[in-house]
């Protein structure tokens, strides 16, 4: 059996130890470990990278701590609009959904789009119609209700501003504080195939059906067995402009950079020039993993069959 590995993230941004209680820090670490275990256990049984990143992302979506799935933030209208995408590095198969509501696990819907439709990207009512056809689990608005997220939204709902994720209690502070609540995973399986998945609830108080980079193949998610698998987290608009995930692959393919150096150029040079804060996780078919960010912190974890195991929050 070949070696295998997985890496996950639960978002990046202004994540400071002094703002974290011991109990909350423990809860985040446990949530990351649970998601890591969900994906790693599939790889241990010679499961595919696609199934591993799906399982890890589902675990993060199910945890109310993260801005994805159950813990998604509120839009301007007090609703939840979720985005997700997944890509198979072996086949270039990809699936994505945007602006979906009441879907328990948006990443499962993205996977259904990849495997059981003739399309790559579905949104809104059409995505919901497809979800019903495929028998995806739905839940009422109460399932997605978090008092913490609701209190965040109440502070902002009468203001034209938005926030990516936050904890302070007034609008001025909310706009200063930045946490990017996207979740995601990348994996390499025993067959040497790689995959990536990303899911998010977007921005608090977002308007006009705004969509960030997370569901966009090449911007927030990308996988190619010849280069790498990438899942991003950050301020979506600059990541879209940078075509961030695909650009890492391009630098590996056309400049012959390794994963670490390619990600370093994108995260610490290109994105910074675009005033983009955030990060990404990446993997290649040799089980090299890189987790890089230009913000104060990123919820992250990785585990390899060779014994390496790492979980962290701060820089």
Name the residues annotated as catalytic: 182
Is 264 in a helix, a strand, or coil?
helix
Q: How far is CA 295 from CA 89, 178, 233, in A?
A: 28, 9, 11
CB contact at 8 A, 61 and 73: no
3-state helix, strand, coil in the chain (%, to 5): 35, 25, 35
Question: Torsions phi, psi of 173, nearest 5?
Answer: -70, -35
DSSP letters, 24-87, are HHHHHHHHHHHHHHHHHHHHHTT--HHHHHHHHHHHHHHSTTSSSGGGPPP-TTS---EEEEEE
The rounded distance, in Å, linking the Cα atoms of 134 and 16 is 41
Is 96 in a helix, a strand, or coil?
strand
Count Cβ atoms below 10 Å from residue 254 Cβ, excluding itself.
9
Of the candidates 267, 210, 213, which has an alpha carbon nearest to the alpha carbon of residue 240? 213
Is 220 in a helix, a strand, or coil?
coil
The rounded distance, in Å, linking the Cα atoms of 174 and 159 is 11
Cα angle for residues 166, 170, 172 (degrees, 5° grid): 85
Give the dihedral of Cα atoms 241, 246, 249, 253; nearest 10 deg. Answer: -80
């Amino acid at each position: 059996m070949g070696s295998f590995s997985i890496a996950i993230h639960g978002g990046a941004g202004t994540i400071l130890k002094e703002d974290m209680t011991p109990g909350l820090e423990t809860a985040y670490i446990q949530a990351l470990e649970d998601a890591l275990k969900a994906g790693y256990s599939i790889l241990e049984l010679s499961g595919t990278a696609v199934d591993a990143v799906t399982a890890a992302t589902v675990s993060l979506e199910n945890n109310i701590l993260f801005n994805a799935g159950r813990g998604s933030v509120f839009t301007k209208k007090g609703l939840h609009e979720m985005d997700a995408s997944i890509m198979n590095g072996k086949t270039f198969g990809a699936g994505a959904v945007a602006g979906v509501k009441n879907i328990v696990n948006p990443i499962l819907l993205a996977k259904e789009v990849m495997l059981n439709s003739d399309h790559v990207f579905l949104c809104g009512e059409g995505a919901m119609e497809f979800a019903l056809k495929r028998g995806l689990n739905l839940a009422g608005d109460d399932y997605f209700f978090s008092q913490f997220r609701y209190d965040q939204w109440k502070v902002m709902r009468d203001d034209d501003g938005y926030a990516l994720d936050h904890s302070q209690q007034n609008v001025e502070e909310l706009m200063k504080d930045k946490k990017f609540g996207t979740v995601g995973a990348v994996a390499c399986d025993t067959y040497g195939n790689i995959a990536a998945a990303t899911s998010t609830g977007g921005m608090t108080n977002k308007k006009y059906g705004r969509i960030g980079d997370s569901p966009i193949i090449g911007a927030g998610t990308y996988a190619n067995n010849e280069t790498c698998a990438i899942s991003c987290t950050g301020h979506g608009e600059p990541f879209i402009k940078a075509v961030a995930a695909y650009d890492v692959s391009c630098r590996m393919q056309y400049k012959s950079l390794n994963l670490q150096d390619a990600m370093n150029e994108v995260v610490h040079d290109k994105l910074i020039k675009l005033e983009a804060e955030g990060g990404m996780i990446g993997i290649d078919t040799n089980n090299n993993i890189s987790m890089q960010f230009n913000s104060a912190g990123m919820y992250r974890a990785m585990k390899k069959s060779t014994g390496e195991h790492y979980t962290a929050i701060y820089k």
